[in-house]
């Protein structure tokens, strides 16, 4: 049992004995005592002041004295206004450490047969361009969130919706057809997604030239854009695709396969994957069918021009177009169709969409529509809304080719990691193969950690140079501490140091601080799951290694003459390493055991 649970149950008993109050232990939540006060855990007593009919200080002192008299884990207490600071008996922390060491997956709760099934959608790329920095933040957040929710005891299905149809796809197809000269990934030596992205940029460039020329001839910008022969050809290709033209569909399938192979390579390097992938080319038809079903049930209505709308003004929203007058669908239609297929495929209890905050209103509408169309989880769907990520140079634009491709970014991170590591001597004595493996982990770990340590709801600037630093709140700093602990434990094993009688040792202040931080991990994981925040896990890992490094600096380990105390410190080091490894694993970060 954790120290928090012990204190919660003891306070529950104290309240009943002292004031006759029936307060469940689960309602009593201890907090870590602030560093400027003496104590390990703090209880806020204000909720019981009125029933006790005493001042907050008096209630705090009475509960504190009861705990000191009746709970062996409590050594002392002090009261600051309405805050009861509790000092835990130092010898008790050895049993806490022993409990942690016996748990092979400390902080992780396995899913059971009756656990809720949570589906998480992330990535959602278009097949007209490679994955870029914006996708990277989305993918890393979705992957980490999936891992955290699984660690909280949920069944998790990771899903992806690929936007593989529409005018933007036809732009790349048309450019390849007109100027590609039969280029393939094999003939060009390019990944398929990069190749197709080049043609998307080429279309945009040619289109811009046409518009500029038409405007020079006296047309307005809008007139020129509509009159552009290129855009008219692209629209004609989209109509042919929707009519299932054999030649257009064959070209579409071939180019999409190139892109999918490119995506898979990128996902694999990032260490992410999906349990189920859906495609807009399949789901938009399902969405149309569901909307027409809603039309029959009165959830939607048809206007004079034949378009289909949903009136959501009674819920404080607008009217929403679901089918155009020509019968074609919009994004909302596709999302409804995707929801229909997912609901058929899985018994979903909660649906989480990892999508940027520019789509906040879209998901308000989708939630209401799904609920009215009969999806039981519709009203409670979660839009995991995150902020945009930019580079120090500013925003990125796909059609202008100014985005930072995910593959190029990963290459840059790994190359920088190698340069910095070699400069600092971190790779001395490593073979070439070991250097490659270590710098891959450091580079990608730096990227992932930097993007995940920030509150996901905030916009952020990603600076590659700042992310690879072996000091401060960075992935490499945490990885280096982990590798240092692994080296320490190897040396202890090679020296034949046995772990013995560590329960007989009384931990000091430094050891207690680290043990308490490790003991907090299950609560941090649970809170990260409740608040959908990988940042809580990232910053927890940083705080833990900071505390451990202070302990490592102040306390002798391998040279400690007291075998019980040395054993306690080795067990503490092992528990720290395992907890850090688990925490970073929840972020999708691999940890090198030597650096």
Q: Name the β-bridge partners of 319.
A: 311
How many other β-carbons are positioned within 10 Å of the β-carbon of residue 446? 27
Name the token pair of 383: 């839009």
Query: Quick check: helix, strand or coil at residue 284?
Result: helix
Q: How far apart are CA 35 and CA 398, in angstroms?
A: 48
CB 39 within 8 A of CB 75: no
Closest CA to 122 of 103, 106, 144: 144
CB contact set of 145 (below 8 Å; sequence gap of 6+): 120, 122, 352, 354, 384, 532, 534
CB contact set of 373 (below 8 Å; sequence gap of 6+): 290, 293, 294, 299, 336
Q: How far apart are CA 545 and CA 475, in angstroms?
A: 11
Summarize pLDDT for 169-222 with one digit per residue, the tens.
999 999 999 999 999 999 999 999 999 999 999 999 999 999 999 999 999 999
Question: What is the DSSP annotation of 88-141?
Answer: EPTTHHHHHHHHHHH-TTTT-B---TTPPEEEEE----BTTS--BHHHHHHHHH
CB 93 within 8 A of CB 54: no
Does domain 416-586 fall under CATH 1.10.730.10? My reply is yes
CB contact set of 31 (below 8 Å; sequence gap of 6+): 41, 42, 43, 44
CB contact set of 162 (below 8 Å; sequence gap of 6+): 124, 125, 127, 260, 277, 278, 279, 280
End-to-end CA distance of the chain: 36
Q: How far apart are CA 168 and CA 437, in angstroms?
A: 38
Summarize pLDDT for 104-114 with one digit per residue, the tens.
899 999 999 99
Which position has the token pair 């006296």?
A: 218
Strand order in the sheet with 319-323: 301-302, 308-311, 319-323
Kind and range of the H or E element at 384? strand 382-386
Name the token pair of 120: 């998480």
CB 442 within 8 A of CB 479: yes
Q: Name the β-bridge partners of 389.
A: 460
Query: Quick check: helix, strand or coil at residue 83?
Result: strand
| Topology given in CATH for the domain delimited by 119-163+278-404 | Rossmann fold (3.40.50)
Instruction: Sketch the domain layout of the chain as residue ranges.
Output: 3-89, 119-163+278-404, 165-274, 416-586
Architecture of the domain delimited by 3-89: 2-Layer Sandwich (3.30)
Secondary structure in 3-state letters for 110-122? CCCCCCCEEEEEC
Q: How far apart are CA 16 and CA 23, in angstroms?
A: 8
User: Residue 543: is its pLDDT beyond 60?
Assistant: yes
Summarize pLDDT for 402-445 with one digit per residue, the tens.
568 899 999 999 999 999 888 888 888 889 999 999 999 999 99
Longest pairwise C-alpha distance within the chain: 93
Summarize pLDDT for 134-158 with one digit per residue, the tens.
899 999 999 999 999 999 999 999 9
Pairing state between β 308-311 and 31-32: unpaired
- What is the arithmetic mean of pLDDT over 68-91? 94
User: Residue 468: is its pLDDT beyond 90?
Assistant: no
Mean pLDDT score of the chain, rounded to an integer? 93
Torsion angle, alpha carbons of 35, 38, 40, 42, to 10: -90
Confidence band for 10, pLDDT divided at 50, 70 and 90:
very high
Percent of the chain past pLDDT 70, that is, above it, reads 98
Q: How far apart are CA 373 and CA 426, in angstroms?
A: 58
Summarize pLDDT for 339-381 with one digit per residue, the tens.
999 999 999 999 999 999 999 999 999 999 999 999 988 888 9
- What is the arithmetic mean of pLDDT over 62-69? 97
CB 3 within 8 A of CB 519: yes
Pairing state between β 382-386 and 155-162: unpaired
């Amino acid at each position: 049992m954790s120290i928090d649970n012990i204190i919660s149950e003891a306070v529950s008993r104290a309240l009943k004995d002292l004031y006759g109050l029936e307060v469940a232990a689960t309602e009593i939540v201890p907090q870590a005592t602030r560093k400027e006060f003496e104590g390990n855990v703090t209880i806020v007593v204000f909720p019981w002041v009125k029933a006790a009919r005493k001042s907050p200080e008096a209630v705090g002192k009475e509960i504190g004295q009861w705990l000191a008299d009746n709970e062996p884990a409590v050594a002392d207490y002090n009261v600051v206004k309405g805050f009861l600071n509790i000092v835990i008996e130092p010898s008790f922390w050895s049993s806490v450490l022993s409990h942690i060491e016996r748990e092979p997956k400390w902080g992780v709760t396995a899913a059971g047969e009756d656990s809720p099934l949570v589906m998480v959608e992330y990535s959602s790329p278009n097949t007209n361009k490679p994955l870029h920095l914006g996708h990277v933040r989305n993918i890393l957040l979705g992957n980490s969130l999936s891992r955290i929710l699984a660690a909280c005891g949920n069944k998790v299905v990771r899903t992806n919706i690929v936007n593989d149809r529409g005018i933007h796809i036809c732009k790349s197809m048309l450019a390849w057809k007109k100027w590609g000269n039969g280029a393939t990934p094999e003939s060009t030596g390019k990944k398929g997604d990069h190749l197709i992205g080049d043609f998307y940029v080429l279309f945009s460039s040619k289109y811009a030239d046409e518009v500029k020329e038409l405007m020079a001839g006296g047309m307005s910008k809008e007139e020129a854009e509509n009159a552009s022969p290129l855009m008219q050809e692209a629209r004609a290709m989209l109509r042919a695709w929707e009519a299932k033209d054999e030649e257009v569909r064959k070209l579409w399938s071939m180019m999409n396969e190139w892109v999918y192979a490119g995506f898979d390579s990128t996902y694999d390097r990032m260490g992410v994957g999906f349990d189920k992938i859906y495609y807009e080319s399949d789901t938009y038809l399902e969405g149309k069918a569901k909307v027409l079903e809603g039309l029959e049930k009165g959830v939607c209505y048809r206007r004079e021009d034949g378009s289909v709308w949903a009136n959501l003004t009674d819920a404080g929203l607008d009217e929403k177009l679901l089918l155009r007058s020509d019968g074609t669908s919009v994004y909302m239609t596709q999302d409804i169709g995707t929801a229909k297929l997912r609901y058929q495929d899985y018994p979903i209890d909660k649906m989480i969409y990892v999508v940027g905050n520019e789509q906040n209103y879209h998901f308000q509408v989708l939630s209401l529509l799904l609920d009215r169309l009969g999806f039981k989880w519709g009203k409670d769907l979660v839009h995991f809304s995150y902020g945009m990520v930019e580079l120090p140079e500013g925003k990125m634009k796909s059609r202008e080719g100014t985005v930072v491709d995910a593959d190029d970014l990963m290459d840059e991170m790994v190359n920088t990691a190698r340069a910095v590591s070699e400069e600092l001597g971190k790779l001395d004595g490593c073979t070439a193969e070991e250097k490659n493996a270590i710098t891959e982990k450091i580079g990608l770990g730096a990227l992932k950690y930097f993007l995940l340590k920030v509150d996901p709801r905030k916009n952020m600037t990603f600076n590659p140079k700042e992310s690879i630093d072996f000091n401060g709140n960075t992935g490499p700093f945490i990885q280096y501490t982990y590798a240092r602990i692994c080296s320490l434990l190897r040396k202890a094993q090679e020296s034949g140091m046995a772990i013995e009688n560590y329960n007989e040792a009384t931990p000091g202040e430094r050891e207690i601080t680290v043990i308490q931080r490790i003991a907090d991990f299950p609560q941090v994981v649970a809170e990260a799951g409740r608040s959908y925040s990988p940042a809580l896990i990232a910053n927890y890992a940083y705080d833990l290694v900071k505390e451990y490094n202070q302990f490592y600096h102040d306390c002798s380990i391998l040279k400690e003459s007291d075998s019980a105390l040395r054993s306690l410190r080795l067990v503490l080091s092992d528990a720290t390493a395992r907890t850090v490894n688990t925490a970073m694993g929840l972020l999708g970060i691999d940890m090198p055991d030597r650096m």
